[in-house]
Amino acid sequence: MAASKCVVITDDEQGYDLDLFCIPKHYSNDLERVYIPHGLIMDRTERLARDIMKGMGNHHIVALCVLKGGYKFFADLLDYIKALNRNSDQSIPMTVDFIRLKSYCNDQSTGEIKVIGGDNLSTLTGKNVLIVEDIIDTGKTMQTLLSMLQDYKPNMVKVVSLLVKRTPRSVGYRPDFVGFEVPDKFVVGYALDYNEYFRDLNHICVISEKGREKYKA
């Protein structure tokens, strides 16, 4: 499959002043800039829903949410797919499942991937699976998950990730559907966390040094 088109955010993109948006007061000193505003995330997610409908055909899809960071993107993406099911000629039945992976401590990927849950992956045998992820950093986590899934012999596996990070640590993995390609910065918000904080932030933002120190594990 050809590489997915996406919105590319360049290395010199400065983002937006925090004062231009509604930011929760408890995070006002913990962030540098708003990087991707919530409205832009939603518009891009709507388009991804359409691309997924087109790319996965008229098959029953099992949407597999990678927790915890993927839950907001997952919910919004499914809402857009459901709207397409209601309002267009093409309609895809969907069921949902969840898996939790852990590979971060503070702002660094540990390289070790813990799978929490996922005991019932045998239900994916013979199914068309859409893995919904918040961010692909090095790509190691997703490669591990994909190789795990192959043991259960799904019919088709596609991956959609809201963000893909441009990083020298990348193993070269690229998802089938991508929302935004972002520089090698640690971003939070829209369910992406730093030690469990910032999930309750609508926009995707760059964390400040003060924020890193404050919420360090």
CA–CA distance from 190 to each of 2, 38, 203, 204 (Å)?
28, 8, 6, 6
- Which pTM value belongs to this model? 0.89
Question: What pLDDT is attached to residue 100?
Answer: 85
Residue 91: CB atoms within 10 A of its CB come to 14
- Cα separation, 155 vs 67, in Å, equals 23
Mean pLDDT of the chain: 88
Cα dist from 57 to 51, 156, 168, 211, whole Å: 10, 11, 35, 44
Catalytic entry in 51, 137, 151, 193: 137
Instruction: State the pLDDT confidence band at 69, using cuts at 50, 70 and 90.
Output: confident
pLDDT of residue 3: 56
pLDDT of residue 34: 95
* pLDDT at residue number 1: 44
Residue type, 10: T
Predicted confidence at residue 37, as pLDDT, reads 97
Pairing of β 31-36 and β 204-207: antiparallel
Would you kindly state where each structural domain of the chain is located, as residue ranges? Answer: 7-214
What was the pLDDT predicted at 60?
Answer: 86
Whether 12 sits among the annotated catalytic residues: the reply is no
According to the model, what pLDDT value does residue 156 have? 92
What is 77-104 written as a DSSP string?
A: HHHHHHHHHHHSS----EEEEEEEEEEE
Tell me how far apart the alpha carbons of residues 183 and 197 are, in angstroms, rounded to a whole number. 21
Task: Give me the CATH code for the 7-214 domain, please.
Answer: 3.40.50.2020
Higher pLDDT, 4 or 40: 40
pLDDT tens sequence across 88-142: 887 888 899 898 876 655 555 555 666 666 557 788 889 999 999 999 988 988 9
